[in-house]
Amino acid sequence: MGSFSLWHWLIVLLIVVLIFGTKKLRNIGSDVGGAVREFKKAMNDEQVAEGDEKTGTTIEGEVTKKTKQ
């Protein structure tokens, strides 16, 4: 009743490959990899943007007139 052995996992893998086929599994793998890369890129971009805000300058002032441009 413990965890599965190596043979159990190999049989499960074989059944999955037979059901979905190698081409579909490869496409799923590349889609997941692309999503992970995009997520990492977005996280890095967000950290860079936060860094820019910390080093930027703040302009203080008061609005006296509003005009449409």
Q: Is residue 37 situated within a structural domain?
A: yes
How confident is the model at residue 34, as a pLDDT?
A: 93
Quote the tokens at residue 61.
């002032």
How many residues can be counted in the chain?
69
How confident is the model at residue 14, as a pLDDT?
A: 92
In single-letter form, the type of residue at position 36 comes to: V
Count of structural domains, the chain? 1
User: How far from 14 is each of 17, 21, 27, 53, CA to CA, in Å?
Assistant: 5, 10, 17, 52
Q: Is residue 3 situated within a structural domain?
A: no
Q: Is residue 44 situated within a structural domain?
A: yes
How confident is the model at residue 66, as a pLDDT?
A: 81
Q: Is residue 26 situated within a structural domain?
A: yes
How confident is the model at residue 32, as a pLDDT?
A: 92
Q: What is the pLDDT of residues 30-62, one digit of tens each?
A: 999 999 999 999 888 877 666 555 556 677 788
Q: Give the residue carrying structure tokens 């490959």.
A: 17
Q: Is residue 36 situated within a structural domain?
A: yes
Q: Give the residue carrying structure tokens 């979905």.
A: 20
pTM of the model: 0.47
How confident is the model at residue 60, as a pLDDT?
A: 79
Q: How far apart are CA 29 and CA 51, in angstroms?
A: 33
**Domain span holding position 43:** 21-52
How confident is the model at residue 53, as a pLDDT?
A: 56
